Amino acid sequence: MRGLHWCFAGLAVLFVLLGGGCSSGSATALQVHLDAGPAAAPFDTPVHITVSGLSPAGLVTLQATARDSQGRLWESAAGFRASAAGTLNLAAAVPVSGSYHVADAAGLLWSLHPTFTRNPEAGFIMGNSGFTVRLEVLAGGQVRATATLARLLSFKTGPSVQTVSRDGIASTLFTPGKITPGAPAVVVIGGSEGGEDTLTAAALAMAGYPALALGYFKEPGLPPCLCAIPLEYFARAVRWLRAQPAEGGRRVVLIGGSRGAEAALLVASYEPHLFDAVVADSPTAYIYGAFGGTGAAWTFHGKPLTTGAAIPVANIRVPVLVSDGGQDSVWLSAASASTIVQELRGSGDRAPYANLYYPDAGHAYAGLPPYLSYPGYGFNGQYVYLGGSEQANALAAEQFWAKMIEFINNPSAPLK
């Protein structure tokens, strides 16, 4: 269950953040300065937000509002106490009140909530123009400083987007205008929601990695359910990817979440030399049956893989990165991750591996781009709770994204 309750209309997000608040002390004497940036950057780039010129040790509230592509209003807010010097750094300041409760410069982004409904499952409908972020600081009931950030999903230099529908493959290839030197190509597969994980692939392309969002069911020409999916399908996709001019000769990393993590581990187990590294987010150590249908979910050489059997991860010969949450309410990904690590550790010819465990996170965060809202709900025909708090999931997503990029760059090196 890879998808969150966010709905993707195109490949970008439209945020408009506003602010408000109050401050103790003499508001009329304040010369407040808001420093927020970078002014224009890919949407998964960390932000910095600092305020100066506030009343020493005074209270100030930053509010945020956003309109999605349907014009619906979203908002978040956090109250802070300025330092003795009258400054505030959201990366270090813990809110004294508000919609999030931890020091994080991006807290106002991922804690946005709808004003038009009390339903926690409501989805932010993303538009096609990228993030436009406006921040305001209010002190003494007045706006004292503003700043605008552009959070982008595309530049004039790329990434280019190619829809692939041939040889039984359904996917979208994102090729950066400027590829990171030595960067591998990445194949991204989603979970039981089906379709293509274009958001993650596009974010990786913005970071300089050629990325293929590969669908394996619920796409034209593919099965309508997660039923009898041949592992050879992923081999065909990799052969096609390696034949492309910009991607040829590169290492290829496979990233999968939830049922996609199951697929990634199976492919790495049964085709040990197909990929150069594997990322398995919220994994299972066992083979599950079909989803949306009956029988086996996977086949190899025309034979169904046995439901309930252990994934033979000891056969894997490439570096593996596993991520799991202690509050996963879909399946016991933390226990599965421990089993996977134990099997890899016992392998006679093991490759490097790492397990990143987030005790308060659920099933929805792993491998998705950071700085979005992570309420802990997913959509699979109906909304289901995936576990973990919004704050824990958001912070886990932020931390894991940085570690995943580090792993992609050098899978054989220990994570810092």
pLDDT in tens, 81-110: 999 999 999 999 999 999 999 999 999 888
Report which of 193, 202, 229, 207 is spatially closest to residue 302, judged by C-alpha positions. Answer: 229
Band of residue 178 on the pLDDT scale cut at 50, 70, 90: confident
Q: Quote the CA–CA distance of 155 and 152 in Å, as a whole number.
A: 7
Mean per-residue pLDDT of the chain: 86
pLDDT of residue 19: 35
Superfamily grouping for domain 160-409: Alpha/Beta hydrolase fold, catalytic domain (3.40.50.1820)
Strand segments (E) across 101-153 = 113-114, 125-126, 131-139, 142-152
Residues 98, 177: Cα–Cα separation, whole Å:
40
Cα 374 to Cα 8, 78, 212, distances in angstroms: 14, 17, 24
Q: What digits encode the pLDDT tens for the residues 257-291?
A: 999 999 999 999 999 889 999 999 999 999 999 99
What is residue 375's predicted lDDT score, i.e. its pLDDT?
Answer: 65
Check residue 374 and give its pLDDT.
Answer: 67
Helices H / strands E in the chain, number of each: 6, 25
Q: Which helix (H) or strand (E) holds 199?
A: helix 198-206
* Exposed e or buried b per residue across 370-383, where buried means at least 16 C-beta atoms within 10 angstroms of its C-beta: bbbbbbbbbbbeeb
Q: Which of 92, 62, 65 is nearest to 79 (CA)?
A: 62
| Residue 239 scores a pLDDT above 70 | yes
Instruction: Give the separation between CA 130 and CA 281, rounded to whole angstroms.
Output: 26
pLDDT-based confidence at residue 24 (cuts at 50, 70, 90): very low
Q: How many residues does the chain have?
A: 416
Higher pLDDT, 299 or 348: 299
pLDDT band for 17, please (50, 70, 90 cuts): very low
Q: Are 297 and 288 in contact, with CB atoms under 8 Å apart? A: yes
- The answer to whether residue 139 scores a pLDDT higher than 90 is no
Angle at 164 between CA 211 and CA 208, to 5 degrees: 20
- The stretch 198-224 carries a mean pLDDT of 93
First CA to last CA distance, the chain? 29
Q: What is the location of CATH 3.40.50.1820 in the chain?
A: 160-409
At residue 11, does pLDDT exceed 90? no
Q: What is the pLDDT of residue 5?
A: 36
pLDDT at 29: 63
Question: Model pTM?
Answer: 0.87
Span 10-16, average pLDDT: 30
Is pLDDT at 315 greater than 50 in this prediction? yes
User: Is the per-residue pLDDT at 21 higher than 80?
Assistant: no
pLDDT of residue 368: 81
- pLDDT at residue 14 is higher than 70: no
Identify whether the C-beta of residue 27 lies closer than 8 Å to the C-beta of residue 58. no
Q: Which element (helix H / strand E) includes 242?
A: helix 232-242
pLDDT tier for residue 27 given thresholds of 50, 70 and 90: very low
User: What is the Cα–Cα distance from 277 to 353, expressed in whole angstroms?
Assistant: 10
Mean pLDDT of 369-378: 73
Superfamily of domain 7-152: Acyl-CoA thioester hydrolase/BAAT N-terminal domain (2.60.40.2240)
Cis omega before residue 230 (within 30°)?
Answer: no
Of 51 and 148, which is predicted with more confidence?
51
SS3 of residue 406 by DSSP: helix
Q: In the structure encoding, which two tokens stand for residue 130, read together?
A: 């990228």
- Which residues of the chain are in CATH 2.60.40.2240 domains? 7-152
Highest mean pLDDT among 96-110, 180-194, 293-307, 350-364: 293-307
User: What pLDDT is recorded for position 98?
Assistant: 95
User: Token digits for 135?
Assistant: 């921040």
Q: Is pLDDT of 241 > 90?
A: yes
**Given pLDDT bands bounded at 50, 70 and 90, which one contains residue 6?**
very low
Instruction: Report the distance separating Cα 270 and Cα 285, nearest Å.
Output: 14
- Cβ count near 216 (within 10 Å): 27
> Which burial class, exposed, middle or buried, applies to 288 when counting CB atoms under 10 A from its CB (0-12, 13-18, 19+)?
middle
**Measured over all CA atoms, what is the biggest interatomic distance in the chain, rounded to whole angstroms?**
77
Calpha distance 396→323 (Å, rounded): 10
Peptide bond into 159 cis (omega under 30): yes
Residues 299-313: what's their mean pLDDT?
97
The residue-averaged pLDDT of 354-358 equals: 96
Of the candidates 297, 282, 280, 330, the one whose C-alpha atom is nearest the C-alpha of residue 217 is 297
